[in-house]
Homo-oligomer: A and B are copies of this chain.
């Protein structure tokens, strides 16, 4: 067992290096993206940059725009459009986060108070709308209908996924495929679009665009699976995030879905009370964590994530081996090893 722990820690360290390597690889581009974000979230209405800046400056990893920049780099793209496109992707993501935090009634994100907690739900809804509109204004400035099509479609799919997630909240009869449909829509669609648009601006052609789309989609699924595992993991607490948010909201994610399927009738009664009837006592989270451990559903969730991670890496096989491709492959491990 000791050797296993050591190996996980080593993997975890290697994975952590992957995000730093990726950030270093496109550091100049990313500085330009950050500048564009700051410039374009300005408004005469002071509350807009205040509220948007609170979230945007809160030290997120900028994973989605990093994917756009690294994909462009992998393709040898030498133009300037990737900077605006990456900023657009981050604007869409930020708008989504602002609305998510309202919908989830979240207090904390990235170790900081959420905007809805500081300013209330109302400005969070409206500033989200502003950032979303602004992202379309930036797309129009870029001028590519193909980019507009990919990103407007992704936005629609994200919203559909969020509504579906809401519709099945507390519903333990939901099957794994419906759960997958939710995470494909709410998370993987933007990862996928973030990579695909790099192919479009680099004029990489149909096959490469499809490969980038597949890489992003599979990476996004893996990423969300790990996020959902982390919500029940002690690791989460060290990242400034609360453990058990999904449990308290009655969000049926894979660790709970599988635990309820694998458990006894008595355990199902427990899950139904907590998730469907939303009748939770303080000690219930401890019990939920014990059942998740008993049925090893964190491990199962991580294994599912590895499957999608493998598909993501294999999708990159058609690209020439270069530093950026290596960084995109390694970021798959980063997304998965976050679980440890």
Interface of A with B (CB < 8 Å)?
43-48, 99, 102-103, 121-123, 125-130, 132-134, 136-137, 139-140, 143, 145, 148-149, 152-153, 155-156, 158-160, 162-164, 166-167
Chain B: minimal CB distance from A97 (Å): 12
Q: Which residues of B contact A155 (CB under 8 A)?
A: 129, 132-133, 136
Are B156 and A137 closer than 8 Å at their CB atoms?
Answer: yes
Chain B's closest residue to A150 (CB) is B140
Q: Among B102, B123, B160, point to the contact of A43 (Cβ < 8 A).
A: B160
Q: Which residues of B contact A140 (CB under 8 A)?
A: 145, 148-149, 152
Bound-state CA distance A99–B158 (Å) is 17
Sampled A-B contacts (29; CB under 8 Å)? A43-B160, A45-B167, A46-B167, A48-B160, A48-B163, A99-B129, A102-B121, A103-B126, A121-B121, A123-B166, A125-B125, A129-B132, A129-B155, A129-B159, A129-B162, A130-B156, A132-B132, A132-B159, A133-B155, A133-B158, A134-B156, A136-B136, A136-B148, A137-B153, A137-B156, A140-B145, A140-B148, A140-B149, A140-B152
Chain B: minimal CB distance from A298 (Å): 28
Bound-state CA distance A140–B153 (Å) is 10
Chain B: minimal CB distance from A249 (Å): 11
Q: Which residues of B contact A129 (CB under 8 A)?
A: 99, 128, 132, 155, 158-159, 162
Q: Which residues of B contact A125 (CB under 8 A)?
A: 99, 102-103, 125
Q: Which residues of B contact A149 (CB under 8 A)?
A: 137, 140
Chain B's closest residue to A151 (CB) is B136
Are B99 and A163 closer than 8 Å at their CB atoms?
Answer: no
Bound-state CA distance A175–B156 (Å) is 39
Q: Which residues of B contact A121 (CB under 8 A)?
A: 102-103, 121
Bound-state CA distance A27–B62 (Å) is 49
Are A163 and B132 closer than 8 Å at their CB atoms?
Answer: no
Bound-state CA distance A47–B168 (Å) is 11
